[in-house]
Amino acid sequence: MSTPTGYINGSDLLLLVGTSTPFGHCTTHTLTFNSETKDRAVKPLVSVPYSASSGLFKSKNVTGLSVTVSAEGLRFYDETETGFKTLLNKWKSGEAIALKGFHRANATTNPYFTGNFVITSLEETSPAADDTTYKVTFDNDGPVTIDESKCGGTTEETEVPTSASNSTSVSSHSS
């Protein structure tokens, strides 16, 4: 297996909508991994000498995880991949859709994240004398499988076995 070296080119990391259609004319995409937390403040132990900061520091624990995916693209009259019209149709349905992130060298066989997502916003911008663009934001709907070992991509196009140490399923929980 050959692994690329150096910086990762953003053009090599792609998004797939559904089972086989990449975002068309996508200019950028962003993955945001969120942690929901709960603060806990407890009284200092009686054995701890009093100080001005006693009891001011709180501890946190994670109560939920979520993933947000956002993308921007150019509107294109002859779009053959997933573009604004397709996304608008998916938004109107209100149903979750499958998203995958993958490295271009892996085609679609080796995604670094997969999951079902709902479109939470879809925006079109049409400036005078300039390209019309769109922005879309997705929030996960249930578990997202994340394999950080595949984030940088490899040039091998076969499924790479994953171990528990590098493959994580993220579920959304409310606090």
The structure's pTM equals 0.77
- Span 81-115, pLDDT tens digits: 888 998 999 999 999 999 998 887 766 568 889 99
- Domain assignment of residue 53, yes or no: no
CATH of the domain at 97: 2.30.110
Torsions phi, psi for 163 (to 5 deg): -110, 170
- Span 27-75, pLDDT tens digits: 999 999 999 999 988 887 788 787 767 777 788 999 999 999 999 999 9
Range of the structural domain that residue 24 is part of: 11-39+60-170
Structural domain total, the chain: 1
- Domain assignment of residue 144, yes or no: yes
CA distances from 63 to 95, 117, 141, 142, 175 (A): 26, 20, 16, 15, 6
Taking the C-alpha atoms of residue 158 and residue 106, their distance in angstroms, rounded to an integer, is 8
Most distant CA atoms of the chain, gap in Å = 72
Alpha helices in 45-129 (DSSP H): 84-93
